[in-house]
Each structure stands twice: as structure tokens, then as C-alpha cells.
Chain A
Amino acid sequence: MRPDILQQAMAEHHEECLDNREFGFWLYLMTDAILFALLFATYVSMFRNTANGPEPIDLFDLKHVFLETACLLTSSVTFGFAWLAALHQKRQIVMFWLIITLVFGLSFVYLEVIEFLDMIRQGAGPQASGYLSSFFTLVATHGIHVSIGMLGILMMVLQVMIKGLSPQVCSRLFRLGLFWHFLDIVWIGIFSVVYLPVFI
């Protein structure tokens, strides 16, 4: 085989590998969506089971939730900007937007942890009632996903810094972007199902 043909075949093979990884990641996201959907179903089924314990209306703060929503939505868009910069092979700008995304992600997790600690301090921890167990399971699972996503963003900042925007790094960044935007979609469900109906 001539070396240039061999090289082309290798490049195509690598591209196909990355395509497969992206599709595999997409399948993972779909299974994750099903997992979240079932946590939502559990939450809705448990909605009235407060066991004479704390009621949700006394625990939630609409402004706080709105702030969390704003942080997550902004971080989703700034991740998009990082991806646009990656398409144009602009390394510094990718790192800049990824760090901005990280800041908004951190603010979101910080707000959520504050909310949880405040609830636990008021005696509304996950052990207080079936309702609160399902609340903490659903919202904290999302929170843990966001935290893992932030770890991923940190890794991507380092990879872009050290390895540059190679096809492999770009593919990883793309997959992380899918994950990050997916988590924002789950959050739409959380504020629409968990928080807003409580205030009606």
C-alpha cells in the first residue's frame, strides 16, 4: 500500500471511531433521560406524602430558583460560544468561554448546596418524609451530574491548553457540550415540575 493511501485510510478510520463515540455518548444521554424521567415520576407520585412534616411551600424560594435557572441557562450558552470558538480553532477563546461556563456552573451548584443545607437545618432533610426523599433524590442527582460536568469542563480546559484543538479533543468537547446542554433540559423539567407548581 502506498503511504498516502494508508494515511488517508487511517484518518478515515479515526474519524469513524470518533463518530461511533459520539453516537455511543448520545445513547448514554438517552438512557440518562429515562433515568431522570423515572425520578420525576417518583417525585410526582410522592408529592402528597409529606408525613405531617415540612411542606414544600414553606421550604422553596421562587427568587432563588430563578437565579439557579439563570445561572444554568447562561452557562449553556457560554458553552456554545466555546464550541463556536473551537470550530474556528481559536484556542485562547475556547479556554476563556470554558472558564466562564465553569464560573456559572459553580454558582449554580453553590446556590443548590446553600438551599439544601438551609432545608436540612430547618429539619427538612431527606429522611423527614417520602416527599423530601424523592425531592432530594431528583434534584441532587441533577446536581451531581452538573458537578461531574464541571469536572469535565476543567479537564477540557487542561486538554485544550496542553494538547490543542486536535480532532480527538474537539470530539470530547463536543460530547461534553451535549452532556451540558442535556442537563439544562433536565433543569427545565425540575423547575416546571418540582418548584413552580408548589407556588400555585
Chain B
Amino acid sequence: MQTHEHSLQDYLTGLVLAVILTAIPFWVVWTSAFSAKVLFGIITLCALIQVIVHLRFFLNISLKHTGKDYLTALFFAGVLIFIMVGGTIWILYDLNFRMM
């Protein structure tokens, strides 16, 4: 079962973290503070952390209190996304490279 108990503190913590994690990539891209590779790295890292922050504080998913069924579905979706998206990008870039 998914827990319904949220607290105001959860939402406010989530908001503060989300604002910081949104502001960082926008700011570094806006000012072009670093080289392209570093910028990509920062965007990816902030996005991944922000997804976890949203899952934890807004959707209230926690490894302890959320039901097993929910977590299994979530991880399974994650695995499928990893295989399908990773596979698509890998194959198409490889194909693109060979067609050059």
C-alpha cells in the first residue's frame, strides 16, 4: 500500500531542493560558465538528483514505507526505460556513425 501520510516539511524541503536543482543547470547554461562537457555533466547530474527529490518528497516514495508492489513496479519501469532508451540511442548513434 502507498502511504498517504505527507507532512508540510516534506513539501517544503522538496520545494527548496527542487528550486536549487533547477536553478543550478539554468544558471550555468545561461552564463556558459564551463566547457560543453562539464555543462552536460552538470545538467545530467542535477536532473537525476531532482527526479529522486521529486519521488521522495512529492510522490512520497521511500524504500522503507512504500509497499513492495509499488517499488517493484517503479524499478521494473526504470529497468525497461534504461534498456529501451539506452539501446535506442546506442544503436542509432552507431548506425549514424557507420553511415557517414
Majority SS at the chain B contact face: helix
Count residues on chain A whose CB falls below 8 Å from chain B CBs: 43
CB distance from B71 to the nearest CB of A (A): 10
Contacts of B85 in A (CB 8 A): 37-38, 40-41
Tell me, in angstroms, the Cα distance from A84 to B58 when the chains sit together.
12
Majority SS at the chain A contact face: helix
- Asked whether A110 is an interface residue with its Cβ less than 8 Å from the other chain, the reply is no
Give the nearest-CB partner of A199 in chain B: B29
Is the beta-carbon distance between A192 and B76 smaller than 8 angstroms? no
Contacts of A144 in B (CB 8 A): none
- Asked whether B63 is an interface residue with its Cβ less than 8 Å from the other chain, the reply is no
Residues A192 and B1 in contact in the complex (CB < 8 Å), given A26-B73, A30-B73: no
Residues A26 and B70 in contact in the complex (CB < 8 Å), given A38-B84, A45-B89: yes
Give the nearest-CB partner of A192 in chain B: B47
Best-surrounded residue of B5, B39, B40, B85 (most CB of chain A within 10 A)? B85
Count residues on chain B whose CB falls below 8 Å from chain A CBs: 46
Tell me, in angstroms, the Cα distance from A81 to B51 when the chains sit together.
20
CB distance from B39 to the nearest CB of A (A): 5
A161-200 to B contact mask, C-beta < 8 Å, 1/0: 0000000001000100010011011001101110011011
Contacts of B2 in A (CB 8 A): 22-23, 26, 174
Q: Give the B-binding residues of A (Cβ under 8 A).
A: 19, 22-23, 26-27, 30-31, 33-34, 37-38, 40-42, 44-45, 62, 66, 69, 73, 76-77, 80-81, 83-84, 87, 170, 174, 178, 181-182, 184-185, 188-189, 191-193, 196-197, 199-200
Q: Give the 8 A-B CB pairs with smallest separation, nearest first.
A: A192-B47, A30-B77, A80-B11, A41-B88, A37-B81, A181-B58, A45-B92, A41-B85
